[in-house]
Chains A and B, each alone.
Chain A
Amino acid sequence: MNESQTKTHADFVLPPNVVTKIDVSHLVSELERIDDELTTASVRAQTGVNVQVTPTLSEQLNGFLVQNQITLTTGPQRSELIKQLRLLKDSAPIIHMTFAVEADRESLQLLAQWLRSSVHPQAVIAVGLQPALIAGVYLRTPNHVKDLSLRAMLDGGHNVIVGELEALRGVS
């Protein structure tokens, strides 16, 4: 935790199973809950009640702690970590991705990995659903929109289809 004391939110590495901004929010709330439990236990210990507390960590939080080599030993450490995570939640770049079908967790993890390796190491995804896209993705970054859906491709190819048909008619 000594190293983690020096880590800020900009230095955090997000594990692959933390994909969306909601996942980061879950990390914060879970950390807060664990901090509450441990603080309560330490206060009780000071009053003479010896209670052994072993907090249960979610897979995401555990992955985050392992990935960043952080331990939750003392109260100040935990408080600082919560503070940094909140900052991370607010500052992490969000990419809105709208799909034509329901996005499964595994695919989202792969996309998050690609984004973090290619675009930004702390990028998170906000997922949307729009069946009219047929296939592909509708991508929205803070300032731009990229329609990479099949529908957009077909719209672009409309003139091509008409041209082909006219060519087939030939005579007319």
Chain B
Amino acid sequence: MVLFRGKKKSLAEQTAAAEQHFFDENFREELRNHGRWYFEKVINENGALFKQDLDATVAQINNDLKEHATSQLDAALAQVNNELKEHVTKQLDEKFAEHGQAMKDAQDAALQSITSGAQALQQQHQQLAAQLQKTIAEQEAMITSAFEENKAQITKMRDTQGLALQWLAQSVKALQEQHQQLETALQKNVAEQESMLVGMFEQNMARIIEHYLLNALGDQYDLKAQLPSIIKQMEANKQAIADDMKL
């Protein structure tokens, strides 16, 4: 309606009016929406592309960084290795030199000590040898004197032994005589004792037998066992018994 309001209006105005007529609020809104949609689409597409580019770039950077870091690290490690090797070699050389010196000092000291010990040992050996010789000489003198003394004593003992043997022989002879006398007396005594004992034994023999019989038969020989013997003896005396009953 606005487009047809003033025919007299300029083209620009007419265009503007036409524009106003075509581009009403809804159309504008539609356009804005379309523009917004398009913008969003473009933005999204550009975002996706940008994201892809970014990812690729990041991956590239990562690889590059890794390579770079690796190369840097290898170089640093090689350098450190070289430095460490040199340092360790130097230190070891120093220590070896110190130890070699110390060992040499110790060897010198030990050699000196051994030499002095050997000298002392030799001196002691000489002293001991001298002392031993002296002792042996003293012992020899002592043994000789003891031997002489013992020899004298043995001679003296031999004389005494001879005297003792003589006395012993006399004693043995006397003892033999006494023994013979004793034997004779003992034999006589034993014979007397024997005859006395035998005499006593004979005198008491009957009593011993009686006693033995009394002990042996006392409780075991009962009347039943004795009965035949008793009746036999009574039978022998029957007449005398019967006569006595009749009196």
Question: Is the beta-carbon distance between B218 and A131 smaller than 8 angstroms?
Answer: yes
Which residue of the partner chain, among B210, B234, B237, B238, contacts A134 with CB atoms under 8 Å? Answer: B210
Per-residue interface assignment for chain B, residues 203 to 237, with 1 indicating a CB less than 8 Å from any chain A CB and 0 otherwise: 10110011001100111011110110111011101
Interface of A is mostly: mixed
Question: Is the beta-carbon distance between B234 and A93 smaller than 8 angstroms?
Answer: no
Tell me the residues in window 117-172 of chain A with beta carbons closer than 8 Å to chain B beta carbons.
118-120, 123, 131-132, 134-137, 139, 141-144, 146, 148, 150-151, 154-155, 157-158, 161-162, 165-166, 169, 172
Question: Is the beta-carbon distance between B214 and A132 smaller than 8 angstroms?
Answer: yes
Interface of B is mostly: helix
Question: Is the beta-carbon distance between B231 and A114 smaller than 8 angstroms?
Answer: yes
- A59 proximal to B (CB < 8 A): no
Question: Is the beta-carbon distance between B234 and A154 smaller than 8 angstroms?
Answer: no
- B118 proximal to A (CB < 8 A): no
Question: Which chain B residue has the least Cβ–Cβ distance from A172?
Answer: B195
Given A136-B229, A165-B202, A166-B202, verify A148-B234 contact (CB < 8 Å): yes
Question: Is the beta-carbon distance between A144 and B244 smaller than 8 angstroms?
Answer: yes
Count: A-B pairs, CB below 8 Å: 108
Question: Is the beta-carbon distance between B195 and A136 smaller than 8 angstroms?
Answer: no
Question: Is the beta-carbon distance between A104 and B222 smaller than 8 angstroms?
Answer: yes
Measured between beta carbons, the chain A residues less than 8 angstroms from B227 are: 107, 110-111
CA distance A4 to B227 in the complex (A): 35
Question: Is the beta-carbon distance between A146 and B240 smaller than 8 angstroms?
Answer: yes
- CB of B82, distance to nearest CB on chain A (Å): 139
Measured between beta carbons, the chain A residues less than 8 angstroms from B245 are: 93, 95, 119-120, 123, 141-142
The 5 A-B residue pairs with the shortest CB-CB distance in the complex, in nearest-first order? A158-B206, A141-B244, A148-B233, A107-B223, A165-B202
